[in-house]
């Protein structure tokens, strides 16, 4: 059988996957500190309202629009008015089934096979696969931690070549939980301007800010302010409304006027080729997005209380510490580097029945980094964290 070289992945089951499978299927309880699916973490949703919106009579009509139906895009423009005070035209919004699809549209729009996009390290691990599938090369640029996370801007600029087409930024980043600062944004825009690059900003966790009052959130979206370079802002229901099962995301285009029309026209053809969103969810989008506040409050409360519980445990665990978190759903732990990351995660599953992610999944260098989710139900999180601490004792 002839397969494409872009799918030449190592598909053998890893020790991590094997151990996790055994843990999940042996029938005994386990403590999943990687759980990040909000629909299974015990949050309350307005189920009646959601199902009502998905069964409106209009949902039975097929009236395809490559960018998404106008009412749904209007809901996205309202979202940016609320979170960023931004006046975005519905013509600059494209609905997609996921941010992954939005990335894929953008990689196809900007990159020929073999061309490059710059991606932060550590960051969201799916980029490698997305890029592989679109024949794009991922070039990492380093983040460093010094009383909080920062972009190594000088290193980033040295990674730019004639093949580079875009800089990708996750804001706040997963799993480091840090927001790009105003100065970093300015510097990045200048770099993109100098080298003719687009800026792709993934803001799925934007509203999950832990360390600042809500008004501060409203000024830090890349949708706000001036846009000297072509800037795409990506988000979606999976995080913004805790509804990953709805499969709705979007990209919003900002930038200098002459570029906007050309960009929109080209993207329209890409989107028209797939027409991937279903009608019910588009009709429901104004409601789904409008009710996000209730879910966000519950998630923020959970993340905050789990982080407090973790800190109380870490206060008595001199060998373990955590890095600062500004927002998002994750926390990075510094643990003794006893053994390789995969071995360590496997032993935690076997000896303590606790699931964690080794840092290398996200591109952390070296051992001694673990990433855990702050979303699990409180009791499960607490018991998992206790066992984690006990393991290192």
Ligand X SMILES: Cc1ncc(COP(=O)(O)O)c(C=O)c1O
Residues engaged in binding ligand X (CB under 6 A): 98-100, 124, 170, 174, 202, 204, 236, 238, 244, 249
Strands 231-236 and 198-202: parallel
Q: Which is nearer to ligand X, 100 or 276 (CB)?
A: 100
Rounded CA gap, 18 and 313, in Å? Answer: 30
Rounded CA gap, 364 and 340, in Å? Answer: 12
Q: Which is nearer to ligand X, 238 or 352 (CB)?
A: 238
DSSP 187-238: HHHHHHHHHT-EEEEE-TTTT-BSSS-HHHHTT-STTSS--SS-EEEEEEHH
Run of H or E residues at 330: strand 330-334
Q: What stretches of the chain show up as alpha helix (H) in DSSP? A: 15-25, 47-54, 70-84, 99-110, 127-133, 153-158, 182-195, 214-217, 237-240, 257-274, 279-290, 292-314, 341-347, 378-392
Q: Which is nearer to ligand X, 160 or 243 (CB)?
A: 243
Closest to 201 (Cα-Cα) out of 176, 155, 168, 246: 168
The nearest distance, CB 257 to ligand X, in angstroms, is: 28
The nearest distance, CB 74 to ligand X, in angstroms, is: 20
The nearest distance, CB 39 to ligand X, in angstroms, is: 12
Q: Which is nearer to ligand X, 49 or 244 (CB)?
A: 244
The nearest distance, CB 247 to ligand X, in angstroms, is: 8
The nearest distance, CB 101 to ligand X, in angstroms, is: 7
Q: Which is nearer to ligand X, 164 or 373 (CB)?
A: 373
Q: Which is nearer to ligand X, 175 or 320 (CB)?
A: 175
Question: Assign residue 136 a region: left if phi > 0, alpha if psi is -120 to 50, beta otherwise?
Answer: beta
Rounded CA gap, 361 and 369, in Å? Answer: 10
Q: Which residues contact 26 (CB under 8 A, 6 or more apart)?
A: none
Q: Which is nearer to ligand X, 19 or 373 (CB)?
A: 373
The nearest distance, CB 162 to ligand X, in angstroms, is: 28
The conformation of residue 362, written as its DSSP 8-state character, comes to G
The nearest distance, CB 29 to ligand X, in angstroms, is: 25
- Half-sphere exposure for 14 (CA within 13 Å, toward CB): 12
Closest to 355 (Cα-Cα) out of 26, 33, 9: 33
The nearest distance, CB 10 to ligand X, in angstroms, is: 22
The nearest distance, CB 204 to ligand X, in angstroms, is: 4
Q: Which is nearer to ligand X, 244 or 340 (CB)?
A: 244
Q: Which is nearer to ligand X, 320 or 370 (CB)?
A: 370
Q: Which residues contact 3 (CB under 8 A, 6 or more apart)?
A: none
């Amino acid at each position: 059988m002839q397969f494409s070289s872009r799918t030449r992945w190592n598909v053998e089951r890893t020790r991590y996957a094997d151990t996790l499978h055994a843990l999940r299927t042996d029938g005994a309880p386990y403590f999943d500190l990687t759980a990040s699916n909000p629909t299974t973490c015990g949050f309350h949703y307005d189920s009646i309202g959601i199902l009502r919106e998905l069964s409106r009579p209009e949902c039975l009509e097929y009236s395809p629009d490559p960018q998404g139906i106008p009412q749904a895009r209007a809901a996205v423009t309202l979202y940016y008015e609320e979170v960023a005070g931004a006046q975005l035209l519905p013509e600059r919004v494209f609905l997609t089934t996921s941010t992954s699809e939005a990335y894929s549209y953008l990689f196809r729009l900007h990159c020929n096979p073999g061309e490059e996009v710059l991606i932060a390290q550590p960051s969201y691990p799916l980029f490698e696969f997305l890029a592989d599938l679109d024949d794009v090369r991922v070039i990492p640029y380093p983040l460093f931690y010094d009383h909080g996370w920062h972009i190594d801007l000088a290193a980033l600029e040295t990674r730019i070549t004639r093949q580079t087409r875009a800089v990708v930024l996750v804001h706040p980043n997963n799993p480091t939980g840090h927001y790009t600062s105003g100065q970093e944004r300015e510097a990045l825009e200048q770099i993109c301007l100098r080298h003719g690059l687009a800026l792709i900003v993934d803001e799925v966790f934007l509203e999950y800010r832990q360390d600042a009052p809500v008004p501060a959130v409203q000024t830090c979206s890349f949708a706000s302010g001036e846009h000297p370079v072509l800037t795409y802002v990506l988000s979606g229901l999976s995080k913004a409304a805790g509804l990953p099962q709805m499969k709705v995301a979007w990209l919003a285009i900002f930038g200098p006027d002459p570029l906007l029309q050309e960009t929109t026209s080209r993207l329209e053809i890409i989107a028209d080729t797939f027409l991937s969103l279903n009608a019910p969810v588009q009709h429901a989008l104004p409601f789904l997005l409008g009710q996000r506040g209730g879910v966000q409050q519950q998630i923020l409360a959970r993340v905050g209380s789990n982080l407090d519980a973790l800190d109380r445990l870490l206060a008595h665990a001199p060998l373990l510490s955590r890095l600062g978190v500004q927002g998002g759903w994750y926390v990075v732990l510094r643990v003794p580097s006893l053994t390789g990351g995969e071995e360590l995660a496997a032993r935690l599953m076997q000896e303590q029945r606790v699931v964690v992610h080794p840092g290398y999944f996200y591109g952390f260098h070296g051992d001694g980094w673990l990433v855990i989710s702050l979303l699990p139900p409180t009791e499960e999180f607490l018991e998992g964290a206790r066992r984690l601490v006990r393991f290192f004792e």
